[in-house]
């Protein structure tokens, strides 16, 4: 929603301005309490929320931050462009999870009750009305965007985003990474997508219930199958092994079916017609691989720079595809960074191979390039800071975060 288009009523704006500091200070306590209340009243919603994000607090933080930031925006802060990006990201994520308009009533009821519980007597009827207005302005904007996304994706009358897909091939890319190739179980053609888009995958858990995770489509749009490439999240210290990635690695084989959403995601990893810089690290290579295959099939003369960082050549998934892509894309140049140079660093790929972590100052930057980043958040901050230092406009830098939230300015 853009400033000047829909505004908070004057009386609510004054109340929100006065109470924003208190809500801000207790934002995470409010959303944590909200989730406890909501899941108690609606345990079925545990099936759509990510249990690990709840355990680590990442999702409560994302929701709290967005409601508070939206209130700030309504009373005059924040720029419209950042809001456009935030709303678009949330709507795409919600659509990939099949969130419905009815569920907004449930969330709104429990969120506002949690505000009352945490802030106590400070929440007068006037304060409750003002925050209710903030919530519903935001909710209506998201509901409208999600409705449009469902229509564009051809979601049927029943409103379900889930469709069964059959796994036709599992490719063990590295010790910790497997690719799954999938076709619609009903025999129809796979819908096309834009590189950078992802699907939600829903899996059933042993003890009952399901969990949903997103995976970027990592193959060529328009191919006869979809491909996702999944890194197994191993247990470390106190952190348990990843629920869904472990299940996909250990249990799913060719012939099995998975429930997938249509492709969603606001990020376009191929940019416009000009030069393209793709910078990835680890499993963040998936949107870049889709972009490269797309260009190899459609725009072979594009000037493309791929910069990829990984622990080692052996850990670098789908590295073996790069020589063929380089042949198909004569204007592709590749710069690789491996922390461990010992294994398998040389093959028929003509690439600049460096030892150590990425030195962002050495990333080649074609003039006027569109840029796509994907990898761990600290890596993306570091690369983006260097690109901004080199006078790249923020608008040209797209990125995917493989978790909740976005990069801060
Ligand atoms: C848009 C998007 C695209 C993505 N694309 C890809 C892709 O192409 N390929 C890919 O591999 N992944 C991708 N991801 C990431 C993917 O969705 C999953 O997040 C990832 O597979 C991990 O899921 P999991 O269920 O295995 O781990 P989870 O069970 O969700 O665990 C995640 C982390 O939380 C930790 N954790 C859980 N519980 C606790 C606890 N109680 N205390 C401390 N730590 C805890 C775990 O140890 C683990 O490190 C993408 C994510 C998004 C949002
Ligand atoms: C105004 C209301 C809402 C706001 C502001 C909001 C905000 C957010 C934000 C910021 C994210 C993280 C997006 C990302 O960066 O990936 C998110 C994810 C999510 N939202 Fe909402 N949301 C709202 C309503 C709802 C409703 C009604 C539901 C359904 C019950 C819902 C379910 C989810 C789920 C399941 C996720 C993903 C959780 C995860 O991966 O941990 N949200 N939402």
Domain residue ranges in the chain: 10-152, 163-260, 276-400
Strand order in the sheet with 352-355: 352-355, 332-340, 304-312, 276-281, 370-374, 397-400
Ligand nearest to the CA of 235: 1
pTM, entire model: 0.96
The residue whose C-alpha atom lies closest to atom 14 belonging to ligand 2 is 404
Ligand 2 atom having least distance to the Cα of 107: 27
Cα 407–chain centre separation: 12
Catalytic residue among 133, 141, 146, 266: 146
Is 104 catalytic? The answer is yes
* CA separation for the pair 249, 121 (Å, rounded): 51
Collect all residues with Cβ–Cβ distance below 8 Å to 156 and sequence separation of at least 6.
none
- Ligand 2 pocket: which of 51, 59, 209 to mutate (most atoms <8 Å of CB)? 59
Question: What pLDDT shows up at residue 4?
Answer: 39
Distance 239 CA to ligand 2 centre (A): 24
Ligand nearest to the CA of 142: 2
- Ligand 1 pocket: which of 172, 230, 242 to mutate (most atoms <8 Å of CB)? 242
Distance 167 CA to ligand 1 centre (A): 21
Question: What pLDDT shows up at residue 57?
Answer: 67
Distance 108 CA to ligand 2 centre (A): 12
Ligand nearest to the CA of 41: 2
Question: What pLDDT shows up at residue 1?
Answer: 44
**Assigned CATH for 10-152:** 1.10.490.10
CATH topology of domain 163-260: Elongation Factor Tu (Ef-tu); domain 3 (2.40.30)
Distance 107 CA to ligand 2 centre (A): 10
Residues with CB under 6 A from ligand 2: 45, 48-50, 53, 59, 62-63, 66-67, 89-90, 93-94, 97, 99, 103-104, 107, 135, 138-139, 142, 404-405
Residues with CB under 6 A from ligand 1: 50, 52, 55-56, 198, 213-216, 218, 229-231, 233, 238-240, 242-246, 283, 286, 400, 402-403
The residue whose C-alpha atom lies closest to atom 51 belonging to ligand 1 is 402
Catalytic residue among 70, 104, 150, 215: 104
The pLDDT profile of the chain, 409 residues, written as one tens digit per residue, is 444 345 789 999 999 999 999 998 998 888 889 999 999 999 999 999 988 877 776 666 677 678 888 898 888 866 677 788 889 999 999 999 999 999 999 999 999 999 999 999 999 999 999 999 999 999 999 999 999 999 999 998 888 999 999 999 999 999 999 999 999 999 999 999 999 999 999 999 998 999 999 999 999 999 999 999 999 999 999 899 999 999 999 999 999 999 999 999 999 999 998 999 999 999 999 999 999 999 999 999 999 999 999 999 999 999 999 999 999 999 999 999 999 976 655 667 789 999 999 999 999 999 999 999 999 999 999 999 999 999 999 999 999 999 877 777 7
Question: What pLDDT shows up at residue 52?
Answer: 85
Distance 283 CA to ligand 1 centre (A): 11
Ligand nearest to the CA of 264: 1
- Ligand 2 pocket: which of 46, 94, 95, 198 to mutate (most atoms <8 Å of CB)? 94
Is 146 catalytic? The answer is yes
Ligand 2 atom having least distance to the Cα of 142: 1
Query: May I ask the CATH architecture of the domain 276-400?
Result: 3-Layer(aba) Sandwich (3.40)
Question: Which of 92, 90, 36 shows the shortest CA–CA distance to 67?
Answer: 90
Question: What pLDDT shows up at residue 2?
Answer: 44
């Amino acid at each position: 929603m853009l400033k000047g288009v829909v505004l908070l009523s004057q009386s609510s704006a004054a109340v929100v301005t006065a109470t924003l500091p208190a809500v801000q200070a207790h934002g995470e306590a409010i959303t944590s309490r909200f989730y406890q209340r909501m899941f108690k009243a609606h345990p079925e919603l545990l099936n759509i929320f990510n249990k690990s994000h709840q355990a680590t607090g990442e999702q409560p933080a994302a929701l709290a931050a967005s409601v508070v930031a939206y209130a700030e925006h309504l009373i005059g802060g924040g720029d419209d462009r950042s809001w456009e990006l935030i709303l678009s990201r949330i709507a795409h994520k919600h659509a990939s999870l099949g969130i419905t308009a009815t569920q907004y009533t449930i969330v709104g009821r429990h969120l506002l009750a949690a505000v009352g519980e945490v802030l106590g007597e400070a929440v007068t009827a006037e304060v409750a009305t003002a925050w209710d207005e903030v919530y519903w302005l935001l909710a209506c904007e998201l509901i409208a965007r999600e409705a449009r996304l469902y229509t564009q994706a051809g979601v049927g009358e029943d409103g379900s985003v889930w469709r069964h897909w059959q796994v036709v091939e599992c490719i063990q890319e590295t010790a910790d990474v497997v690719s799954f190739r999938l076709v619609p179980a009903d025999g129809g053609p796979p819908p096309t997508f834009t590189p950078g888009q992802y699907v939600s995958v829903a899996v059933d858990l042993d003890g009952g219930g399901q969990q949903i995770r997103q995976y970027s489509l990592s193959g060529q749009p328009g191919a006869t199958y979809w491909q996702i490439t999944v890194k197994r999240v191993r247990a470390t210290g106190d952190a348990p092994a990843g629920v869904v990635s472990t299940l996909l690695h250990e249990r799913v084989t060719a012939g099995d079916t998975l429930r997938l959403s249509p492709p969603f995601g606001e990020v376009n990893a191929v940019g416009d017609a000009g030069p393209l810089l793709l910078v990835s690290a680890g499993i963040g290579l998936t949107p870049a691989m889709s972009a490269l295959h797309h260009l190899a099939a459609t725009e072979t003369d594009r000037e493309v720079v791929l910069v990829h960082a990984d622990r080692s050549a052996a850990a670098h998934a789908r590295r073996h595809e790069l020589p063929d892509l380089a042949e198909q894309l004569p204007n592709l140049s590749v710069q690789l960074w491996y922390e461990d140079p010992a294994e398998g660093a040389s093959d028929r790929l003509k690439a600049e191979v460096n030892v150590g972590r990425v030195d962002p100052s050495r990333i080649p930057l074609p003039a006027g390039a569109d840029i796509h980043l994907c990898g761990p958040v600290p890596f993306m901050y570091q690369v983006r800071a260097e690109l901004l230092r080199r006078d790249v406009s923020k608008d040209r830098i797209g990125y995917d975060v493989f978790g909740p939230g976005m990069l801060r300015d």
